[in-house]
Amino acid sequence: SEMCIRDRLMSKSYRPPDYAGYRFPLKEGMLVCLEGALLVVMIGYFFYQSGLACVFLSPLFVIFVREKKKERAKRNRQELSVQFKDLVLALSANVKAGYSIENALRESCRDMELLYGKDSSICMEVKYMLRGLENHVVFEKLLYDLGMRSHVPDIMQFADVFLIARRSGGNLTEILEKTASVIEQKVETDKEIQLMISAKKMEQKIMNMVPFLIIFYISATSKGFFDVLYHNLVGVAVMTVCLFFYGAACLFSKRIVEIEV
């Protein structure tokens, strides 16, 4: 089973990650926490002008950090998908040159190091597979384990196709070439889409800041204009409703610019 594969290799320094989630390194985690705290303070000040409001708004900090983790995990999966495409291309070239799939993987590891560096996700995964082969774990199981952990449909589908081809004696060279071609087309299409909507993503981020800028500008130029909305029950209720619609608008705009192939 997949757990048995991992248990046999856990004694090594590399522990294969599950790409569904993400754990912040210390420096990045501190920066994200600072951003989350700043967001809570900004909302507490501009919507309520109260330090006590920040305490009640603290769940927003947890939601912000959770969303950042999801975004980083998604970016990791996208990067792994692109790197895996190049791995399949390298495997295809090496198998066509006459290598067995296991030796082709060893040769492909060098190519991945040149392309992405020794510490890249794909290099670490290939080295993990090579250790598995040294421990007499079959390549199909290692590939299937990567597919399960990656949560990338292309990798999972490739693992299934490769397993069937190996068992039925299919043409591995042709399968690798076709698979690499399909993944490459999908990656290129995704890149084109992301390039086209990159400007819209920037506009979305700017528009998210507009309410704060408007409140700041009016407060600075017209002292006391918003006093009626602060420190009274009706004002707090009105600003809470405004905050609800602002949050819904932010989520809706984020959904609009998230296009997946």
| E strand segments, the chain | none
Q: Whole-model pTM?
A: 0.80
Burial class of residue 219 in the structure, from the number of CB atoms within 10 Å of its CB (0-12 exposed, 13-18 middle, 19+ buried):
middle
pLDDT in tens, 179-207: 778 887 887 888 888 888 888 888 888 88
HSE-CB of 125 using CA atoms within 13 angstroms? 24
CA dist., res. 230 & res. 248, Å (int): 22
CA dist., res. 149 & res. 153, Å (int): 11
CA dist., res. 125 & res. 109, Å (int): 9
pLDDT in tens, 121-169: 999 999 999 988 888 888 888 888 998 999 888 888 888 888 887 777 7
Could you tell me if 9 and 139 are in contact, meaning their C-beta atoms sit under 8 angstroms apart?
no
Asked whether the predicted pLDDT for residue 249 surpasses 70, the reply is yes
> What average pLDDT does this structure show over 80-108?
87
Between 116 and 166, the more confident residue is 116
pLDDT in tens, 17-26: 889 888 888 9
